Amino acid sequence: MSLQLFVFGDTSYAQLVATYAAQDSAFDVVGFTVDKAFLKTDEIGGLPILPFEELLNAPDQAQAVFVACGYRNVRMRASLFERIATHGFIMPNIFAPNCYVAPGASLGHNNIVMPGAVVEHNVQLGDNNIVWSNATLCHDATFGSHNFVAANATVGGHVRVGSRNFLGFSSTIEQYRQMGDENLLGAMSFLHKDAHDHQRWLGMPAKLAGSHADAGLAVIDPSPAPVTTPDEQSQ
């Protein structure tokens, strides 16, 4: 029996998540949801969008919720996931067509693996990670939660990645390296050193280019240049 799934969000990313989930017989995508204060319309792409407060008052409307919040502000993204998780909904993983997740991989909740992405044997993913199209997570790599791995990124074997990190387009982390929390690795950058926390690494080979411990990591698009004042107008 298919899970009745609501996608939390109203952005193009949320619609993409709904499209992939609808192609999986495990899910019956019944609509979108956002906090009432962010509600702008009553439908998206022919599916209803309901205030999240309504789902809380009538939990039988949805068995599962996928939090589809993108990469603009990683602290906000983590906070939103953690808030929704307290309400007891099933928070499933979504696997797009043509991705590969090895039987020996271990995933938490609310992860999405996009088309062409590869998650190899013994990879461990925490919660709320985004693995974009054609990214490769090599064997025995370990990830925390709330990470964004952009298209064509490669993470080598036995790499350890913390939480709330952003790996840009076609970036690479050398095998056995370690990355802490809330780092940015720029597009097409090659990390051949360990990264600590709140750092920006750019170039090939990547060099330390700054930090953002106070402001937090925020980006407008998957590029080497982060910004510190994102405009989060939607969920």
Neighbours of 48 (CB within 10 A): 13
CA neighbor of 68 nearest in space, from 41, 96, 46: 96
Tens-level pLDDT at each residue, the chain (235 residues): 688 999 999 999 999 999 999 999 889 999 999 999 999 989 998 999 999 999 888 766 678 999 998 777 888 999 999 999 999 899 999 999 999 999 999 999 999 999 999 999 999 999 999 999 999 999 999 999 999 999 999 999 999 999 999 999 999 999 999 999 999 999 999 999 999 999 999 999 999 998 888 777 776 544 443 333 333 445 6
Which element (helix H / strand E) includes 173?
strand 172-173
d(CA 152, CA 159) in angstroms, rounded, equals: 17
**Cβ contact 78:163 at 8 Å:** yes
- Residue 186 is which amino acid? G
Contacts of 98 (CB under 8 A, 6+ apart): 115, 116
CA neighbor of 143 nearest in space, from 114, 90, 105: 105
